[in-house]
Amino acid sequence: MSFYHKANTLPATSRNLMPIFVGLALISVIGLSFGVHSMVVGHDHTFGTTKEVPWGILISPYVFFACLSTGLCIVSSLGQVFGIGVFQSIIPRTVFLAIVTMATGLMCITLELESPWRVGFNALFSPHPSSNIWWKTTIYSLYLIFMVFNFLSLMLKKKKRAKIFAIIALVTVTMGNLNMNSDMALLGARGFWSENYMPLYFLSLSTLTGCSAILLFSWLGKMITGKTVDIEDDKAMQATGKLFMLLLLGILYFTGVKIMGGFSPRFTKNPEAMYLLVQDGFAFNFWLGEVGLAVLFPLALLLMTRGKNLNILALAGLSCLTGVFVLFYDLVIVGQLIPHYYQYNVVDLPKYYSYSPSLHEIMITTGAIFFFLAAFILGEMILKKFSVD
């Protein structure tokens, strides 16, 4: 029996979401206030980053939410751009989630910068077309604008106009996603960004997280609003679940490549970093987060239920999102911990550099996550109003 038939046996209720929104927003403000404090007193006093490890945990939610927004845009385009009917019912929520995830990611990278106001000013009045970072900032900012117009067009029932904005946004964000590894590789650390498979890996991982978010937040939206799941939503979730399973198998392959690189230098350009990830100090993160939570546990849940139980699909989505967040943290941090001149046996050079997130970095990251959750609740209230009207 599908979740649709089970849900329709439950009474529909109408809940006031404002208290939940206010509570989440207050937690977000508390966390983000640490970012404002860091700008006032200076990041060198509040962040755990150093000259050796210049990028901290705040880069991780930036990459995570930016890739998540990309994946949501791709999945929403299956219905909007490519006209696949089964995905039509989840378009409005998916587009809204794509907007708030990108906004959250840009907020994280803004608070990571000590003088963020210079970015917008110099991007407009002193553009640098040969700069990868300038292009990424411009691309993601334009993408966010296009998605906002896409959502507004959907709410106004202007489907043709919404499709135009959806096409432009899809092309824009795909360009940004495929070139993300070139931006990150500028750091010069022995990370994994320069591996040849990274562009395809990022695109697959982004679509995977997009499916995970749709499964989780569609289920959560129905739970907190008290609405029943209609047959169109049920079909959309099952279709998303099938795509989710296919992408899990693809990411499992890339995870296997990492494992081989961690045990044999022949399979990677960065054997020291891969060894640290797979066998040394970050092995717990890798095996529990990247392998267990991100891939194996969701895949096992889907195989056991054949992707037909929406509750299990939501649990699989939550597990995958948690594991992928750990994955992005490892992806950002691990390569920076390898000393640049380790091969020259420099006296007193440590085997690995060290990094631990400071209280301010943790609170800012927490504030960003709760900002996204508050925005999700706001979106549910908006979608509820327009569905009634």
Q: In this structure, what CATH number is given to the domain that contains residue 100?
A: 1.20.1630.10
pTM of the model: 0.91
Q: Chain centroid to CA 37: how far?
A: 26
Q: With contact defined as beta carbons under 8 Å apart, do 96 and 214 qualify? A: no
Local confidence band at 268 (pLDDT 50, 70, 90 cut-offs): confident
Q: What is the extent of the structural domain holding 316? A: 16-388
pLDDT beyond 80 at 86 = yes
Q: Is residue 69 part of a domain?
A: yes
Beta strand extents in the chain (DSSP E only): none
List pLDDT tens digits, range 1-43: 444 344 444 444 456 889 999 999 999 999 999 999 999 999 8
Write down the mean pLDDT value for the chain.
88
Of 287, 333, 50, 71, the closest CA to residue 192 belongs to 333
Of 130, 194, 252, 289, the closest CA to residue 138 belongs to 130
Local confidence band at 63 (pLDDT 50, 70, 90 cut-offs): very high
Identify the top-confidence range among 13-17, 216-220, 338-342.
Answer: 216-220
pLDDT at 31: 96
Q: Is residue 95 part of a domain?
A: yes
CA–CA gap between residue 344 and residue 355 (Å, rounded): 23
Domain count, the chain: 1
Separation of first and last alpha carbons in the chain: 32
Classify burial at 188, counting beta carbons within 10 Å of its beta carbon; exposed 0-12, middle 13-18, buried 19 or more: exposed
pLDDT beyond 80 at 109 = yes
Q: Chain centroid to CA 16: how far?
A: 28
pLDDT beyond 80 at 230 = no
Q: Is residue 358 part of a domain?
A: yes
Q: What are phi and psi of 86, to 5 degrees?
A: -65, -20
pLDDT at 119: 77
pLDDT at 73: 96
pLDDT beyond 80 at 184 = no
Q: Is residue 1 part of a domain?
A: no
Give CA torsion, residues 305, 308, 312, 316, to 10 deg: 90
